Structure 1
Amino acid sequence: MLDANITPYIKPLLRPIVAALNKACITPNQVTVAGFVIGLASVPAIIMGWWVLAFLCIVANRVFDGIDGELARYQNSSSSAGGFLDICLDFLFYAAVPLAFGIANPTQWGVPALILLTAFVGTGSSFLAFAVAAEKFNIEKPQFENKSFYYMQGLTEGTETILLFLAFCIWPAYFPILAYLFAAACAVTIVTRVYGGFKTLNAVEGINNDCSRKKS
Structure 2
Amino acid sequence: MLRKSTDGWVSSLINRRFSTKITKFILSRNWNITPNQMSLISFLIGVSALPIYLLKLPWLAGITIQISSVLDGVDGELARAKDMSSNWGGFFDTMLDRFVDILVILGLAIYGAMEGGVTISLLIWSLFAISGCLMVSYLHSAGKVFGTHPALMGRLSGFASRDVRLFVIFIFSLFGMYLPALVFVSILSYIYTVGKFVELLLLNR
Decide: shared fold, TM above 0.5: yes
Q: Give percent identity, aligned residues only.
A: 21
Listed one character per residue, the Cα deviations across residues 73-110 of structure 1 (whole Å, up to 9, x for unaligned) are 11001112212222221122122122112223432567
Coordinate RMSD, CA, aligned? 3.1
Q: Quick one: distance in 2 between partners of 1:187 and 1:141?
A: 15
Q: Quick one: distance in 2 between partners of 1:181 and 1:13?
A: 25
- Give 1:138's aligned residue: 147
Listed as ranges, the gaps of 5+ residues in structure 1 are: 145-151, 204-216
- Give 1:68's aligned residue: 75
Q: What TM-score, normalized by structure 2, do the two folds share? A: 0.77
Within-5 A mapping of 1:1-80:
3-4=8-9, 6-7=11-12, 10-11=15-16, 13-22=18-27, 23-80=30-87
1:155–1:189 CA contact under 8 A, matched in 2: yes
Matched residue SS, 2:147: coil
Listed one character per residue, the Cα deviations across residues 144-183 of structure 1 (whole Å, up to 9, x for unaligned) are 9xxxxxxx835422232122211232221x3223322432
Within-5 A mapping of 1:61-210:
61-106=68-113, 107-108=117-118, 111-112=121-122, 114-134=124-144, 136-139=145-148, 143=152, 153=157, 155-172=159-176, 174-201=177-204, 203=205
Q: Which has the larger radius of gyration?
A: 1
Which letter does structure 1 place at the counterpart of 2:22? I
Q: What TM-score, normalized by structure 1, do the two folds share? A: 0.73
1:154–1:193 CA contact under 8 A, matched in 2: no
Listed as ranges, the gaps of 5+ residues in structure 2 are: 1-5
Matched residue SS, 2:138: helix
Q: Quick one: distance in 2 between partners of 1:125 and 1:70?
A: 25
1:3–1:159 CA contact under 8 A, matched in 2: yes
1:123 positional shift:
4.6
